[in-house]
Amino acid sequence: MTNPVIRLEFKKFGGLKYISHLDLQRAILRFIKRAGIPIRYTEGFNPHPKLVCALTLSVVNESDCELVDFYLARDPENPEVPIITPDTFVSRLESVLPKGLEIVSAYFPESDFADIDSSDYIITLFKNAEIDVAQRLSEILSEPLEIVKKGKAGERVVDIVPMVFSWEVLEEKGDACTLRATLSAKQNEYLNPDHFVKGLMTKCPEIDTWLVKRISINFKEVK
């Protein structure tokens, strides 16, 4: 194992859903340091811990399945053997985590984040008028739905309908409608759930606000 990596899967909820992705990453690094977990640092004049997060999530959104890869420090005398096991990683980290972060699992990954295909969400839409949400969404998603996506190369107009792999209405009660949606999470075709809802709102002004919870991250099948 030339570059030992431990992948951490954790839940983010409660008060911690209100902090940004960057602040969450900084907090996790503090917890890792406090737990005495030996992770690698980059080389150069300004070394920093080596970790990679999958699929950033917007502020206010909760998640049952956040993923972070930590590159472990190596024992110079035995570099092929991981310096810490996933079980020890979990036991040390659990002792210092605050309420709102809950470990699901830790393991040596067999896939890369580049192999992520899609992500599943529970999305609750709040309406300001009585409408048949299932019918309206069927109508909206039966034709192109364009949004403006911002990236390093600038802005571009994208049709998001091909990025909506599936959706279904789970419950309608009062002014709330709960959906389960599977959205593309591929490297060049990532559909942020907030952008999905904002796209819907351009055609359906009866949607006022929304809440999002990510419930799974799905990797491509290994052939």
What is the maximal distance between C-alpha atoms in the chain? Answer: 68
Q: Categorize the per-residue pLDDT at 157 as very low, low, confident or very high, splitting at 50, 70 and 90.
A: very high
CATH 3.30.70.3190 fits 114-219, yes or no: yes
- Domain residue ranges in the chain: 5-110, 114-219
**Using the 8-state DSSP alphabet, how is residue 77 labeled?**
T
* Domain 5-110, CATH among 3.30.70.580, 3.30.70.980, 3.40.640.10, 3.30.1060.10: 3.30.70.580
- Ramachandran category for residue 100: left, alpha or beta (phi over 0 → left; psi -120 to 50 → alpha): left
The whole model's pTM is what? 0.91
Task: Return the pLDDT at 215.
Answer: 98
pLDDT tens-digit map of 129-150: 999 999 999 999 999 999 998 8
The alpha carbon torsion through 5, 6, 11, 14 (nearest 10 deg) reads -80
Hey, do 5-110 and 114-219 end up sharing a CATH topology, with the first three levels equal?
Answer: yes
Task: Return the pLDDT at 44.
Answer: 77
pLDDT tens-digit map of 63-111: 999 999 999 887 766 666 667 899 999 999 999 999 999 999 999 999 9
